[in-house]
Amino acid sequence: MDSIVVTGGVRLKGQIPIAGAKNSCLALMPATLLTEEPLVLMNAPRLSDIDAMGLLLRSLGVHVQASEDGKVITMSSNGPVSTMAEYDIVRKMRASNLVLGPLLAREGRATVSLPGGCAIGARPMDVHVAALEALGARIELKEGYLHATAPTGLKGAKVMLRIASVGATENVLMAATLAKGTTVIENAACEPEIVDLAECLVAMGARIAGAGTSTITIEGASRLGGASHTVIADRIELGTYMMAPAICGGEVECLGGRIELVRTVAERLAEAGVSVEETGRGIRVARGNDRIRPINVRTEPYPGFPTDLQAQMMALLCIADGESRLEETIFENRFMHAPELMRMGADIDVRGGTATVTGVKRLKGAPVMATDLRASVSLILAGLGAEDETVVNRVYHLDRGYEHVEEKLGSVGAKIERIQN
């Protein structure tokens, strides 16, 4: 398994282009199942999670083709499709469950493996199931698979989500576009990726109002057509690269980043003494010689501080001048990076969902282990700000969510190298 070796202590300077959003693209790709016409996604990120979704869709019978540079994905399924999403694919990537709603809407049935737990928590599917049942689906759990049927089709209904789950909102939104009548999703997730999905569905002919708010209304259509859609910028990649100059010092302009995607992140960074400003082309982040100020951060659904940037923020707060508190409210077990950061000299006390981080002047390089996607990158960032060399082992998670991380950080001066083991 590959490792990433970073040598800390270099100030960063330059520009980093931000890719299309992984989490948007993973929801947009299954939308191809809602039409027999081609769906073309532009600005797709080049990531192993996107390849995995491509594989899953191919296994269902969708024709999936990526351009040579991987940025344009063309999909079409004008023939019969399989309705079975196998465990072997789903277990590797939870977002595979996003084929459930579209398959049910198209074929009236779907058999989708339960994803199982992952490093950051149990991540159940009950909200997805209850929402699709509200549209008239019958769903049974047998041998680890959700067996869903809607023999007489899905019918629009009022759907109240128990929690504002991103994936459940996406699943029911897609399913409702082909249901009979009107669906109203209450307590819907408001993430920008939901808005991106809704815009693509509207371009395909769906009638949707309220995406980006907690109430989404969908008027079902009898069919949807093809579309070409440009994937929005990845706010998590953006936030990650905004943390890099904050940790290392220097100045980085994140090209293509828009402040409304990361407003809370920008506010927290400014509170910590980091300069964040919009340029015509993106967002410039800079830090001089002053120490980072300690701050308190609580993860929340959008527009709050994203859980997917909590590990990176922890890496920054490890070198703050005082005590910070990080509260994780979305996932129950998302501090696995803390013990790894402590191997680098960080002072972190985790109690339940709260981590108290007492800043030290500098971290020290060490061999560390990546436990999940965002933890991997937080260890790289920590290493870039640390003394000497840090070896981040087991980085396969990284390629799921960050394209060309070594090139992007290397191009702004970071000393970073991938070792293929």
- Binding site residues, ligand UD1, CB under 6 A: 23, 26, 94-95, 121, 123-128, 163, 165-168, 189, 193, 307-308, 330-331
Q: Containing H/E element for 215?
A: strand 215-219
The contacts found for 401-406 with CB under 8 angstroms, 24 or more apart, are 401/22, 401/47, 401/49, 401/236, 401/237, 401/373, 401/374, 401/377, 402/47, 402/237, 402/240, 402/377, 403/19, 403/45, 403/46, 403/47, 404/46, 405/4, 405/377, 405/380, 406/4
Instruction: Provide the minimum distance between the beta carbon of 256 and ligand UD1 in the complex, in angstroms, as a whole number.
Output: 20
CA distance 355 to 311: 11
Find the residue with minimal CB distance to ligand UD1: 167
Q: Which is nearer to ligand UD1, 23 or 312 (CB)?
A: 23
326 within 8 A of 354, measured Cβ to Cβ: yes
Q: Could you tell me the two tokens for 271?
A: 């509170």
Q: Could you tell me the two tokens for 63?
A: 């024709």
How far is Cα of residue 378 from the mean position of the Cα atoms in its chain?
Answer: 15
Q: Which positions are catalytic?
A: 118
> Which residues are paired to 284 by β-bridges?
253, 277
Strand order in the sheet with 39-42: 63-66, 73-76, 39-42, 227-230
Q: Which is nearer to ligand UD1, 145 or 345 (CB)?
A: 145
Instruction: Provide the minimum distance between the beta carbon of 396 and ligand UD1 in the complex, in angstroms, as a whole number.
Output: 17
Instruction: Provide the minimum distance between the beta carbon of 204 and ligand UD1 in the complex, in angstroms, as a whole number.
Output: 20
Q: Could you tell me the two tokens for 13?
A: 């300077």
Query: 228: alpha, beta or left, given left = phi > 0 and alpha = psi -120 to 50?
Result: beta
333 within 8 A of 298, measured Cβ to Cβ: no
Q: Is 227 exposed, middle or buried (0-12, 13-18, 19+ CB in 10 A)?
A: buried
How many other β-carbons are positioned within 10 Å of the β-carbon of residue 60? Answer: 25
CA distance 116 to 94: 8
Residue 192 preceded by cis peptide, ω within 30:
no
Q: Which is nearer to ligand UD1, 128 or 408 (CB)?
A: 128
Q: Which is nearer to ligand UD1, 100 or 315 (CB)?
A: 100
Q: Which is nearer to ligand UD1, 96 or 393 (CB)?
A: 96
Q: Which is nearer to ligand UD1, 188 or 266 (CB)?
A: 188
Q: Which is nearer to ligand UD1, 167 or 385 (CB)?
A: 167
Provide the residue type at 257 as one letter. G
Q: Which is nearer to ligand UD1, 129 or 272 (CB)?
A: 129
Instruction: Provide the minimum distance between the beta carbon of 373 and ligand UD1 in the complex, in angstroms, as a whole number.
Output: 8
How far is Cα of residue 258 from the mean position of the Cα atoms in its chain?
Answer: 17
Helix 373-385 with 235-248: angle, nearest 10 deg: 20
66 within 8 A of 45, measured Cβ to Cβ: no
* 3-state secondary structure (DSSP) of residue 406: helix
